[in-house]
Structure 1
Amino acid sequence: ELEMLIPLARKLGVEPMIGLRSKMMVRSLGKWAGSSGDRAKFGLSITEILNIIELLKKEDMLHCAKLLHFHIGSQLSDIRKVKEAVSEAARLYAKLVQLDVPLEYLDIGGGLGIDYDGTSSTTDSSRNYSTEEYVADVVYGVKQICDLENVPHPNLVSESGRAITAHHSCVVTNIVGEIKNTGAKYDTSVTTGEHILVSNMRELTTAHDLHPQEKYNDAASFKQSAYEAFKLGILSLDEMAKLDTMYWQILSEIHSSIDRDSFVFQELEELEDMLASQYLCNFSIFQSAADTWAIGQVLPIVPISRLNEQPEVRCSIVDITCDSDGKLSKYIEGTEISDNIPMHTLRKGEHYHVGMFLTGAYQDVMGDMHNLFGRLTEVHIYCHDDEPGDFYIEEVVPGTAAEKVLETMQYNTDYMAKTVKKSIDREVRKGHIAPREGVRWTDYYEKCLAGTTYLKV
Structure 2
Amino acid sequence: KPLVGVRSKMTVKGRGKWESSGGDRAKFGLTISEIIGAARYLDTHGMAESLILLHFHIGSQLTDIRAVKESISEGAMIYSELHKMGYKLEYVDVGGGLGIDYDGSQSTNDSSRNYSMQEYVADIVYGMQQVCDLENVPHPTLVSESGRAITAHHSCVITQVVGEIKAHSLGIPTDKQVDEHVLLTDIRELAELIDSQDNLQEIFNDASQYKEQALSAFKLRVISLEELAKIETLYWQIMETLQVRLKTAEFIPEEMQELPFNLSSQYLCNFSVFQSAADTWAIDQVLPVVPLTRMNEKPTINCSLVDITCDSDGKLDQFISDDGLSNVIPMHNIKPNEEYYVGLFLTGAYQDVMGDMHNLFGRLNEVHIFSYDDDPEDFYIEEIVAGSSVENVLSIMQYNPNSMAQGIKKLIDTHVSKGEMKPREGVKWTDFYENCLKGYTYLKTTD
Q: Shorter-chain TM-score category?
A: over 0.9
Instruction: Give me the whole-angstrom Cα distance separating, in 1, the residues matched to 2:83 and 2:364.
Output: 50
Q: Name the counterpart of 2:25.
A: 39
Instruction: Give me the whole-angstrom Cα distance separating, in 1, the residues matched to 2:323 and 2:49.
Output: 52
Distance 1:224 1:89, change over 3 A: same
Q: Name the counterpart of 1:239.
A: 227
Instruction: Give me the whole-angstrom Cα distance separating, in 1, the residues matched to 2:155 and 2:64.
Output: 25
Instruction: Give me the whole-angstrom Cα distance separating, in 2, the residues matched to 1:62 and 1:228.
Output: 80
Instruction: Give me the whole-angstrom Cα distance separating, in 2, the residues matched to 1:428 and 1:189.
Output: 57
Matched, 1:98 2:84: yes
Q: Name the counterpart of 1:327.
A: 315
1:355 is paired with a residue whose SS is: strand
Conservation of the 8 A alpha-carbon contact between 1:287 and 1:366 = yes
The residue type equivalent to 2:434 in the other structure is: E
Q: Name the counterpart of 2:58.
A: 72
Mark the runs of 5 or more structure 2 residues left unpaired by the alignment.
Answer: none
- Displacement of 1:409: 1.2
1:359 is paired with a residue whose SS is: coil
Query: Identity across aligned pairs (percent)?
Result: 59
Q: In the TM superposition, what are the counterparts of 1:221-236 in structure 2 within 5 Å?
A: 221-236=209-224
The residue type equivalent to 1:169 in the other structure is: S
Distance 1:355 1:259, change over 3 A: closer
Q: Name the counterpart of 2:302.
A: 314
Matched, 1:114 2:94: no
The residue type equivalent to 1:279 in the other structure is: Y
Conservation of the 8 A alpha-carbon contact between 2:240 and 2:263 = yes
Distance 1:195 1:76, change over 3 A: same
The residue type equivalent to 1:170 in the other structure is: C
TM-score (ref. length: structure 2) = 0.97
Distance 1:441 1:28, change over 3 A: same
Is the deviation greater in 50-59 or in 300-309?
A: 50-59
2:119 is paired with a residue whose SS is: helix
Instruction: Give me the whole-angstrom Cα distance separating, in 2, the residues matched to 1:325 and 1:394.
Output: 35
Distance 1:150 1:356, change over 3 A: same
The residue type equivalent to 1:51 in the other structure is: G
The residue type equivalent to 2:268 in the other structure is: L
Conservation of the 8 A alpha-carbon contact between 1:300 and 1:332 = yes
Question: Deviation string for 1:262-312 (max 9, x for gaps)?
Answer: 111122221111111100000000000011011110000001111111112
The residue type equivalent to 1:88 in the other structure is: E
Distance 1:223 1:429, change over 3 A: farther
Instruction: Give me the whole-angstrom Cα distance separating, in 2, the residues matched to 1:426 and 1:388.
Output: 59
Question: Deviation string for 1:214-261 (max 9, x for gaps)?
Answer: 111111111111222223333322122212211111100111122435
Instruction: Give me the whole-angstrom Cα distance separating, in 2, the residues matched to 1:430 and 1:195.
Output: 61
Q: In the TM superposition, what are the counterparts of 1:42-61 in structure 2 within 5 Å?
A: 42-61=28-47
1:278 is paired with a residue whose SS is: strand
Question: Deviation string for 1:331-390 (max 9, x for gaps)?
Answer: 012352111101000001110000000000001100001000000000000111122321
2:370 is paired with a residue whose SS is: strand
Conservation of the 8 A alpha-carbon contact between 1:346 and 1:352 = yes
Matched, 1:130 2:104: no
Q: Name the counterpart of 1:281.
A: 269
Matched, 1:420 2:408: yes
Instruction: Give me the whole-angstrom Cα distance separating, in 2, the residues matched to 1:318 and 1:94.
Output: 53
Conservation of the 8 A alpha-carbon contact between 2:171 and 2:229 = no
Q: Name the counterpart of 2:166.
A: 180
The residue type equivalent to 1:239 in the other structure is: E
The residue type equivalent to 1:449 in the other structure is: L
Q: In the TM superposition, what are the counterparts of 1:281-300 in structure 2 within 5 Å?
A: 281-300=269-288
- Displacement of 1:204: 1.6
Instruction: Give me the whole-angstrom Cα distance separating, in 2, the residues matched to 1:93 and 1:152.
Output: 10
The residue type equivalent to 2:439 in the other structure is: G
Distance 1:92 1:260, change over 3 A: farther
Q: In the TM superposition, what are the counterparts of 1:173-212 in structure 2 within 5 Å?
A: 173-208=159-194, 209-210=196-197, 211-212=199-200
- Displacement of 1:200: 1.8
1:67 is paired with a residue whose SS is: strand
- Displacement of 1:432: 4.1
Distance 1:215 1:261, change over 3 A: closer
Matched, 1:218 2:179: no
2:193 is paired with a residue whose SS is: coil
Conservation of the 8 A alpha-carbon contact between 1:29 and 1:76 = yes
The residue type equivalent to 2:102 in the other structure is: Y
Matched, 1:373 2:361: yes
Instruction: Give me the whole-angstrom Cα distance separating, in 1, the residues matched to 2:323 and 2:395.
Output: 45
2:96 is paired with a residue whose SS is: coil
Instruction: Give me the whole-angstrom Cα distance separating, in 2, the residues matched to 1:202 and 1:216.
Output: 14
Q: Name the counterpart of 1:456.
A: 444
Mark the runs of 5 or more structure 1 residues left unpaired by the alignment.
Answer: 1-14
Q: Name the counterpart of 2:389.
A: 401
Conservation of the 8 A alpha-carbon contact between 2:171 and 2:230 = no
Conservation of the 8 A alpha-carbon contact between 2:268 and 2:305 = yes
Q: Name the counterpart of 1:10.
A: none
1:379 is paired with a residue whose SS is: strand
Conservation of the 8 A alpha-carbon contact between 1:182 and 1:249 = no
The residue type equivalent to 1:260 in the other structure is: T
Q: Name the counterpart of 1:3.
A: none
2:227 is paired with a residue whose SS is: helix
Conservation of the 8 A alpha-carbon contact between 1:118 and 1:334 = no
Instruction: Give me the whole-angstrom Cα distance separating, in 2, the residues matched to 1:352 and 1:73.
Output: 38
Instruction: Give me the whole-angstrom Cα distance separating, in 1, the residues matched to 2:361 and 2:97.
Output: 31
Matched, 1:139 2:125: yes
Matched, 1:388 2:376: yes
Conservation of the 8 A alpha-carbon contact between 1:119 and 1:335 = no
Is the deviation greater in 345-354 or in 206-215?
A: 206-215
1:177 is paired with a residue whose SS is: strand
Structure 1 residue corresponding to 2:10, chosen from 11, 15, 24 = 24
- Displacement of 1:410: 1.6
Number of equivalent positions: 443
Conservation of the 8 A alpha-carbon contact between 1:174 and 1:354 = yes
Q: Name the counterpart of 2:435.
A: 447
1:389 is paired with a residue whose SS is: coil
The residue type equivalent to 1:206 in the other structure is: E
